[in-house]
């Protein structure tokens, strides 16, 4: 089983960008923790990060061909990217939306996800633990 993990815009700055909101963990550290859990679960993961909406759409399309599920943090695209929403809807494999921070306790414009209604699940506000839960959920959903 293969799970694609997609990190959206500005997540390459984790550890430096607003640590009071996103924590001090880096994207590399998140990917390492995911790789460790993937090993325990017996699944393969492929982690990608992009600041480009179009590239994320392409990666979601690729996931439909190469993976059994997706863990996806769309970053700020969460709130307005109908292109990503349509891609998640179109790929036909379990997709778990994940956010480090609780988007519902932040600024008003961040309290709405256009992705959540078409995702298989939505996890937010749990920091790195949320990513690990999302990986477990994706593996469970893909295995059913």
Q: Which domains does the chain have, with CATH numbers?
A: 2-142 (3.40.50.9100)
Q: Identify whether 82 is a catalytic site residue.
A: no
Active site (annotated) includes residue 112: no
The model's pLDDT over 116-138, given as tens digits with 9 standing for 90+, comes to 999 999 999 999 999 999 999 99
Q: Say whether 31 counts as a known binding-site residue.
A: no
Q: How far is CA 13 from CA 19, 49, 109, 121, in A?
A: 10, 11, 21, 25
Q: Does 73 show up as a binding residue in the annotation?
A: yes
Let me know if 38 is exposed, middle or buried by CB neighbors in 10 A (0-12, 13-18, 19+): buried
Q: Residue 33 gets which letter from DSSP?
A: H
Q: What is the DSSP pairing of strand 44-49 with strand 121-124?
A: unpaired
Residues near 27 by beta carbon (within 8 Å), at least 6 away in sequence: 7, 11, 12, 14, 15, 49
Task: Select which of 22, 82, 104, 112 is catalytic.
Answer: 22
Tell me: the pLDDT tens digits for 56-106? Answer: 999 999 999 999 999 999 999 999 999 999 999 999 999 999 999 898 877
- Interval 6-17: pLDDT, tens: 999 999 998 887
3-state SS, 124-139, equals ECCCHHHHHHHHHHHH
Residue 68 is labelled as binding a ligand: no
Is residue 67 within 8 Å of residue 46, measured between CB atoms? yes
Q: Tell me if 79 is assigned to a ligand binding site.
A: yes
Buried b (16+ CB within 10 A) or exposed e, 103-126: beeeeeebeebbbeebbbbbbbeb
Rg, Å, the chain Cα set: 14
Which helix H or strand E contains 97, and what residues bound it?
Answer: strand 95-99
Average pLDDT over all residues of the chain: 94
120 Cα distance to chain centroid: 12
Q: Single out the catalytic residue among 99, 112, 122, 131.
A: 99
Reduce the DSSP state of residue 17 to 3 states and report it.
coil
């Amino acid at each position: 089983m293969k799970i694609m993990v997609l990190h959206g815009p500005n997540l390459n700055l984790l550890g430096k960008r607003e640590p009071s909101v996103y924590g001090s963990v880096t994207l590399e550290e998140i990917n390492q923790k995911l790789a460790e859990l993937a090993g325990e679960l017996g699944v393969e993961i492929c982690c990608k990060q992009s600041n480009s909406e179009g590239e994320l759409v392409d990666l979601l399309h690729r996931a439909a061909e190469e993976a059994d599920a997706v863990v996806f943090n769309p970053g700020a695209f969460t709130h307005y990217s109908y292109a990503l929403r349509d891609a998640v809807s179109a790929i036909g494999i379990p997709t778990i939306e994940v956010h480090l921070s609780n988007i519902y306790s932040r600024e008003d414009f961040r309290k709405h996800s256009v992705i959540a209604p078409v995702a298989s699940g939505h996890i937010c506000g749990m920091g790195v633990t949320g990513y690990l839960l999302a990986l477990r959920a994706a593996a469970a959903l893909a295995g059913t």
